[in-house]
């Protein structure tokens, strides 16, 4: 199963953000083992920026991203994805860009804590909790 991971889920784990850390970490543990997790290349710059802003050195932020991409696959973002995201009815451009990249790469779900942000997405969204419940019940 291919799933695209929203940045908020990754940051829950990287920053041990409560009360979301445990569920997001449980979800990420499945990636590369029982499911294929993807992030968009554009997310790596966001994650680097946010980690650096939170006080991590550039070297440490790069090392964290290196570990991350060892566990998930990185998908590209194309000009067509940009155009589709801009034309989309989705209100958040970054989310729209993620959604259309995910659609092109045939992601089955986008895993996010902000499911409402993806209501108009071409790829359905699930929370980490909902994904885990669905994954282990089937």
User: Taking phi first (over 0 means left), then psi (-120 to 50 degrees means alpha), and beta for anything else, what does residue 106 get?
Assistant: left
Domain boundaries, the chain: 2-137
Give the pair of three-digit tokens for residue 56.
């991590």
Give the pair of three-digit tokens for residue 134.
């669905």
pLDDT tens string 1-31: 999 999 999 999 999 999 999 999 999 999 8
* Reduced DSSP (H G I as helix, E B as strand, rest coil) percent helix, strand, coil of the chain, to 5: 60, 15, 30
CB 132, CB 26: distance < 8 Å: yes
* Entry pTM: 0.93
pLDDT tens string 115-132: 999 999 999 999 999 999
- Give the pLDDT score at 138: 64
Give the pair of three-digit tokens for residue 29.
């543990």
pLDDT tens string 62-111: 999 999 999 999 999 999 999 999 999 999 999 999 999 999 999 999 99
- Domain 2-137's class? alpha beta
Q: Which position has the token pair 């359905």?
A: 124
């Amino acid at each position: 199963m291919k799933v695209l991971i929203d940045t908020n889920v990754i940051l829950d784990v990287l920053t041990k953000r409560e009360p979301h850390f445990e569920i997001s970490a449980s979800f990420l543990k499945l990636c590369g083992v029982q499911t294929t997790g993807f992030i968009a290349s554009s997310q790596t710059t966001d994650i680097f920026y946010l980690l650096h802003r939170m006080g991590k050195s550039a070297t440490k932020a790069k090392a964290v991203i290196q570990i991350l991409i060892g566990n998930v696959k990185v998908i590209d973002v194309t000009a067509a994805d940009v155009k589709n995201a801009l034309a989309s009815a989705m209100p958040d451009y970054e989310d729209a860009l993620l959604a259309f990249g995910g659609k092109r790469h045939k992601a089955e779900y986008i895993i996010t804590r902000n499911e409402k942000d993806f209501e108009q997405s071409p790829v359905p969204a699930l929370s980490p909790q909902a994904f885990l419940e669905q994954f282990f019940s089937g």
